[in-house]
């Protein structure tokens, strides 16, 4: 009797990892370098597909949604720079508003415009954000849950992602902000070296790939 074909088991679906191009006049964005470093790597048995999004309100989600259709990932992690933060911060919630304090890379500066007209006020991340923070801290990496991704292009992409995934519970997604690189931080501003940021994102991907349910541990804030 012949053995059953080994190829009958479907290949695991990839992990989509996005970063952003530089914005606000900067020449670098750490998330672009992190994604370039991890594109094509296999982490927790899954292939990582890296994509750089334009820092432009509508075009960013157009590019992201096209990648979702083409690559069919079942985990999506979007990264963005949050200059001034000292830690790796998985975001808890995306809100349905664009309110830009600065112009995006196409000069757009929407004020109080919904990301999706008629959409719900907010979507939760479906990544295990508490488990990610615990894993990072266990390895000496600074991390905490963030209660707001802001109202600029990062929140826009996060909301657009979760809206697209709202009826696809098998596909989990969310957003993680990272600090400045040391070379772009002004004196006294917090930063993390690129190698440390890459190490942290690898651990974030591992936790996202291996854990469907989050841990029930504190991650709240008083303000
Ligand atoms: N950070 C910005 C947009 C692109 C990025 O990397 C933000 O936090 O909205």
- Token code pair at residue 104: 């995006």
152, 156, 181, best to mutate for ligand 1 pocket (most atoms within 8 Å of CB) = 152
Residue 217: inside a domain: no
Question: Which candidate in 32, 87, 91, 135 is catalytic?
Answer: 91
* Residue 107 included in any domain: yes
Q: At CA 108, angle to CA 28 and CA 32, rounded to 5?
A: 20
Looking at ligand 1, which residue's alpha carbon is closest to its atom 9?
A: 154
Q: Does a structural domain hold residue 215? A: no
Q: Does some domain include residue 170?
A: yes
pLDDT at position 73 is: 98
Strand partners of residue 88: 143
Whether residue 218 lies inside any domain: the answer is: no
Q: How far apart are CA 21 and CA 105, in angstroms?
A: 9
Report the atom number in ligand 1 closest to the C-alpha of 80.
6
For the entire predicted model, the pTM comes to: 0.96
Residue nearest atom 8 in ligand 1 by C-alpha distance:
154
Q: Is the CB of residue 34 below 6 angstroms from any atom belonging to ligand 1?
A: no
| Catalytic residue (choose from 78, 154, 156, 163) | 154
Strands 15-20 and 46-53: parallel
Note if 156 is an active site residue.
Answer: no
pLDDT per residue, tens digit, the chain (223 aa), is 555 555 677 889 999 999 999 999 999 999 999 999 999 999 999 999 999 999 999 999 999 999 999 999 999 999 999 999 999 999 999 999 999 999 999 999 999 999 999 999 999 999 999 999 999 999 999 999 999 999 999 999 999 999 999 999 999 999 999 999 999 999 999 999 999 999 999 999 999 999 999 999 999 999 8
Quick check: CB of 150 below 6 Å from ligand 1?
yes
- Decide whether any atom of ligand 1 lies within 6 Å of the 123 Cβ: no
pLDDT of residue 3: 55
Cβ of 35 below 6 Å from ligand 1:
no
Residue 154 known to be catalytic: yes
Whether 81 is covered by a domain: the verdict is: yes
The two tokens of residue 46 are: 């899954």
Q: Is residue 165 part of a domain?
A: yes
CATH code at position 53: 3.40.630.20
Cβ proximity of 38 and 201 under 8 Å: yes
For residue 200, the enclosing domain spans 15-210
- Rounded Cα distance between 221 and 213, Å, is 21
Pick the residue whose CA is nearest to atom 2 on ligand 1. 154
Instruction: Report d(CA 125, CA 3) in Å as an integer.
Output: 43
Count of structural domains within the chain: 1
Query: Is the residue at 219 inside a domain?
Result: no
Ligand 1 in reach of 31 Cβ (< 6 A): yes
């Amino acid at each position: 009797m012949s053995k059953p074909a080994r190829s009958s088991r479907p290949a695991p679906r990839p992990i989509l990892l996005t970063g952003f191009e530089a914005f606000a006049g900067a020449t670098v964005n750490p998330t672009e370098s992190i994604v370039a470093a991890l594109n094509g790597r296999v982490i927790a048995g899954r292939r990582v597909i890296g994509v750089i999004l334009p820092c432009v309100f509508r075009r960013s989600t157009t590019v992201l949604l096209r990648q979702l259709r083409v690559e069919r990932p079942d985990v999506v992690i979007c990264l963005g720079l949050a200059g001034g933060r000292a830690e790796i911060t998985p975001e808890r919630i995306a809100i349905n508003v664009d309110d830009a304090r600065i112009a995006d890379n196409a000069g757009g500066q929407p004020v109080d415009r919904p990301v999706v007209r008629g959409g719900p006020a907010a979507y939760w991340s479906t990544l295990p954000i508490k488990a990610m923070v615990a894993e990072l801290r266990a390895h000496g990496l600074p991390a905490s849950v963030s209660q707001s991704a802001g109202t600029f292009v990062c929140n826009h992409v996060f909301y657009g992602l979760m809206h697209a995934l709202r009826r696809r519970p098998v596909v989990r997604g969310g957003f993680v902000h990272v600090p400045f690189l040391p070379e772009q931080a002004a004196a006294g501003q917090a930063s993390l070296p690129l190698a440390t940021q890459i190490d942290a994102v690898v651990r974030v991907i591992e936790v996202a790939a291996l854990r469907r349910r989050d841990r029930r541990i504190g991650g709240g804030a008083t303000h």
